[in-house]
């Protein structure tokens, strides 16, 4: 697949007030509206049951849309079959055919389209080369590792030259070390192909590492959408701040605000009269950083993140009294989430 091929396929994906209901009362997705530019890596992020997978399945055509519209370029996808949409989906369990070789798994959709064996095998080999799996072409799926199976599933999804690749929790079945390696692989593929990736995940780290654009969902609605930096550094609601992690949500003079845990300071309780008195509850050593959880009658639980070097200089222990303080310039006002 050449760069010219993929750029020619590039179309803007737009969801306009897309809603999915199950029965009268169960709303899985509520008025989802977003426009995704060509060549964007998008992560649909959120807790289980928030509507992210339902959104992905509606784009793919595996779920009917209750109301609203989905367009790819100028074409509505609502009444089109999955095969007619210009999208391709890679499923969480990879869904490889156990009796077919890697090569024939990748070539399968071309076989169904009536493409002759020499041509479909040539194209399948090109895709296997793209995902660094050409040497495994003759193997069966059960002779592959989980990461290798994922690469084959990716190649199979890409062989139809989709404008949009849909990925449903693609890294969840992998061990942590391989998951990080495959993040880099997905990023490389998306850059080389220049097509839009829509990637569903519940992992904040995964979304921050991969996405150009994050859509954070909660209780069927979009809580916030934007760049990874915007979502992490400028959360709009208390839910966003808490879900993304690395923040404390505090109330100062009646104003709800978010404060990054690495910009929260832990000091001797008597060192600054303005510090909030707290008690150390838990110390979590993470290698480069150490998270120290403290409790305060005023603010509840707070987390202070310090470097390993800082922690070695002052080893806080559960039960100790401590003071928490911060630079007011690091407070970021947030509003209470409407989904509470």
Which CATH homologous superfamily contains domain 3-233? P-loop containing nucleotide triphosphate hydrolases (3.40.50.300)
249-333: CATH topology is: OB fold (Dihydrolipoamide Acetyltransferase, E2P) (2.40.50)
Q: What is the pLDDT along the chain (340 residues), one digit of tens a residue?
A: 444 344 435 689 999 999 999 988 899 999 999 999 999 999 999 999 999 999 999 999 999 999 999 999 999 999 999 989 999 998 878 889 999 999 999 999 999 989 999 999 999 999 999 999 999 999 999 999 888 998 999 999 999 899 999 999 988 878 888 888 889 999 999 999 999 999 999 999 999 999 999 999 999 999 999 999 999 999 999 999 999 999 999 999 899 999 999 999 999 977 787 899 999 999 999 999 999 999 999 899 999 999 999 999 999 999 999 999 999 999 999 999 987 6
CATH 2.40.50.140 in the chain: give the residue spans. 249-333
CATH 3.40.50.300 in the chain: give the residue spans. 3-233
Which letter, b or e, does each residue of 196-234 get, where b requires 16 or more Cβ atoms within 10 Å of its Cβ? bbbbbbbbbebbbebbbbbbbbbbbbbbbbbebeebbeb
Q: Report the distance separating Cα 127 and Cα 88, nearest Å.
A: 14
Residues 6+ apart with CB under 8 A from 247: 235, 241, 258, 259, 260, 261
What's the confidence (pLDDT) of residue 165?
96
Q: Kindly report whether the global pTM for this prediction surpasses the value 0.85.
A: yes
Give whole-number Cα distances, 277 to 59, 71, 248, in Å: 51, 55, 16
Which stretch of DSSP H or E encloses residue 130? helix 117-130
Report how far Cα 301 is from the mean position of its chain's Cα atoms. Answer: 27
């Amino acid at each position: 697949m050449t760069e010219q091929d993929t750029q020619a396929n590039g179309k803007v994906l737009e969801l306009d007030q897309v809603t999915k209901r199950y029965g009268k009362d169960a709303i899985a997705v509520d008025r989802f509206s977003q426009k995704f530019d060509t060549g964007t890596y998008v992560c649909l992020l959120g807790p289980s049951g928030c509507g992210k997978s339902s959104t992905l399945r509606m784009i793919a055509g595996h779920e009917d849309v209750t109301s609203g519209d989905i367009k790819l370029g100028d074409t509505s996808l609502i009444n089109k079959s999955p095969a007619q949409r210009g999208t391709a989906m890679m499923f969480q369990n990879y869904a490889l055919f156990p009796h077919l070789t890697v090569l024939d798994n990748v070539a399968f959709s071309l076989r169904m389209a009536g493409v002759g064996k020499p041509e479909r095998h040539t194209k399948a080999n090109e895709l296997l080369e793209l995902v660094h799996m050409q040497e495994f072409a003759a193997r069966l799926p059960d002779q592959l590792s989980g990461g290798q199976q994922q690469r084959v599933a990716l190649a199979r999804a890409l062989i139809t030259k989709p404008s949009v690749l849909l990925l449903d929790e693609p890294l969840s079945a992998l061990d942590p070390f391989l998951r990080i390696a495959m993040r880099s692989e997905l990023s490389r593929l998306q850059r080389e192909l220049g097509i839009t990736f829509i990637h569903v995940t519940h992992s904040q780290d995964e979304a921050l590492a991969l996405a150009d654009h994050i859509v954070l969902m909660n209780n069927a609605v979009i809580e916030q959408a934007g760049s990874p930096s915007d979502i992490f550094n400028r959360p709009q609601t208390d839910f966003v701040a808490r879900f993304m992690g690395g923040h404390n949500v505090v109330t100062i003079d009646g104003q709800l605000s978010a404060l990054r845990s690495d910009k929260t300071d832990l000091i001797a309780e008597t060192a600054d009269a303005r510090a909030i008195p707290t008690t150390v509850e838990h110390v979590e050593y993470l290698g480069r950083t150490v998270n120290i959880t403290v409790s305060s009658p005023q603010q509840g639980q707070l987390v202070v993140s310090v470097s390993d070097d800082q922690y070695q200089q002052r080893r806080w222990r559960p039960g100790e009294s401590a003071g928490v303080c911060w630079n007011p310039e690091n407070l970021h006002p947030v509003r209470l989430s409407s989904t509470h």
